[in-house]
């Protein structure tokens, strides 16, 4: 017990020190890098929600972008109509997305494999059309999401994008610390047991349906928070901000991170943030048309997903860990 408390304290101090480092780093880079840092934080949260759902409970979602949209709209409506502080808006985003996830998760508990993936995919495809039908959601133009100017105490050099980055990075650190703890708790062990063998889990006294529903609910809440962070970063929420390609990008990031491990989430997030820059550099080099420049990032993400699935299906970190374990076993036998 003492060792467990010591480990938790060490992990907490690590996240605190990382937060301080990110705060000072955000004051020393240009506006583009700060904006990318906020986007990176958003991807970290969103990919972590996929890893929790797929890697730990064995459920596949192809429509997490839709759950992000629900959270983004909930935060924007709360901010615009009630004027609540940004942190409360984020909390509302989590609660509303979690509620939607619990409804979907109840159905998901009875589905598996391609049926569940198809259901979530249908949600991602249909949600933009639904959003256009309600004036409270702003139609095609969407809603503004203004979190306000940074505190004057931060100084004149503390720009709006630095404020976005600070909020997004702090949110990502809190989420990652919380997820690390919950996945090491009995809930995480229960989800892994269900993913490994549902029949054995039931024989051990686990209610598989409730376990799956809880995992989907928690994952949806985290995805909704990522949607609110995205809405804050781009200062708006609209159907075009949550396209179907976003869901596939998150899936690619999760595969790159290694769907069965949370520690590699930064790899997937960095790849998704760097892809547009790589695509832009390739387009300029080839002198491609605007149409090619627009569609090239999606093509690169799709190609990357195929390559990773074929070569390192468990993600590079998990592959490296397996290789080290194999070498250790061979050394022991020798």
The pLDDT tens digits along the chain (334 residues) read: 555 455 666 666 766 676 667 666 666 777 888 888 899 999 999 999 999 988 888 888 888 888 999 999 999 999 988 888 899 999 999 999 999 988 887 776 666 666 777 778 888 887 777 777 777 787 777 888 888 878 777 777 778 888 888 899 999 989 998 998 898 888 888 888 888 888 788 888 888 888 888 989 999 999 999 999 999 999 989 888 888 888 888 888 888 887 777 878 888 888 888 888 877 777 777 766 666 667 777 777 777 777 777 776 666 666 676 677 677 676 776 6
pLDDT for position 333:
66
Q: What 3-state class would DSSP assign to 144?
A: strand
Looking at residue 91, what is its pLDDT? 95
Q: What integer pLDDT is reported at residue 49 of this predicted model?
A: 93
Closest CA to 234 of 26, 29, 23, 35: 35
Report d(CA 239, CA 120) in Å as an integer. Answer: 17
- Give the pLDDT confidence score for residue 292 in this predicted structure: 63
Distance CA 232, CA 147 (A): 7
Place of tokens 């409970």: 57
C-alpha to C-alpha distance for 60 and 53, rounded to whole angstroms? 7
The predicted model scores a pTM of 0.87
- The domain locations on the chain are 2-242, 244-334
Alpha-carbon distance 33 to 52, whole Å?
Answer: 28
Report the pLDDT value the prediction gives residue 68, as an integer from 0 to 100: 93
Give the 3-state secondary structure of residue 120.
helix
Write out the DSSP string of 9-35. Answer: HHHHHHHHHHHHHHHHHHTSS-HHHHH
Q: At what angle do helices 290-311 and 244-257 cross, to 10 degrees?
A: 40
At residue 121, the pLDDT reads: 81
pLDDT at 208: 80
Q: Long-range contacts of range 27-32, CB-CB < 8 Å, 24 or more positions apart?
A: 27/157, 27/158, 27/162, 31/159, 31/161
């Amino acid at each position: 017990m003492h060792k467990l408390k010591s480990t938790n304290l060490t992990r907490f101090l690590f996240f605190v020190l990382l937060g301080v480092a990110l705060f000072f780093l955000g004051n020393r880079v240009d506006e583009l890098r700060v904006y990318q840092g906020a986007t990176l934080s958003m991807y970290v949260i969103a990919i972590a929600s996929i890893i929790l759902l797929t890697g730990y409970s064995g459920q596949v979602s192809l429509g997490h972008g839709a759950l992000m949209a629900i959270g983004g709209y909930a935060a924007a409506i709360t901010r615009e109509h009630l004027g609540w502080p940004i942190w409360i808006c984020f909390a509302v985003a989590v609660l509303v997305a979690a509620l939607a996830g619990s409804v979907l998760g109840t159905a998901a508990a009875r589905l598996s494999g391609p049926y569940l993936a198809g259901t979530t995919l249908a949600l991602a495809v249909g949600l933009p059309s639904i959003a256009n039908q309600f004036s409270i959601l702003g139609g095609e133009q969407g809603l503004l999401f203004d979190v306000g100017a940074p505190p004057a105490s931060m100084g004149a050099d503390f720009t709006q994008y630095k404020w976005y980055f600070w909020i997004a990075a702090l949110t990502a650190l809190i989420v990652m610390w919380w997820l690390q703890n919950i996945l090491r708790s009995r809930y995480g062990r229960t989800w892994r047991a269900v993913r490994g063998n549902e029949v054995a889990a039931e024989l051990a006294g686990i209610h598989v349906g409730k376990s799956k529903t809880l995992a989907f609910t928690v994952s949806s809440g985290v995805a909704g928070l990522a949607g609110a962070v995205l809405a804050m970063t781009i200062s708006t929420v609209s159907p075009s901000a949550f396209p179907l390609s976003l869901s596939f990008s998150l899936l690619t990031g999760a595969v790159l991170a290694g769907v069965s491990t949370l520690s590699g989430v930064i790899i997937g997030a960095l790849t998704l943030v760097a892809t547009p820059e790589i695509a832009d550099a390739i387009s300029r080099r080839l002198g491609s048309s605007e149409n090619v420049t627009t569609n090239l990032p999606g093509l690169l993400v799709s190609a990357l997903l195929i390559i990773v699935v074929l070569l390192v299906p468990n993600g590079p970190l998990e592959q490296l860990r397996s290789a080290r374990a194999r070498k250790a076993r061979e050394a022991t036998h020798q």
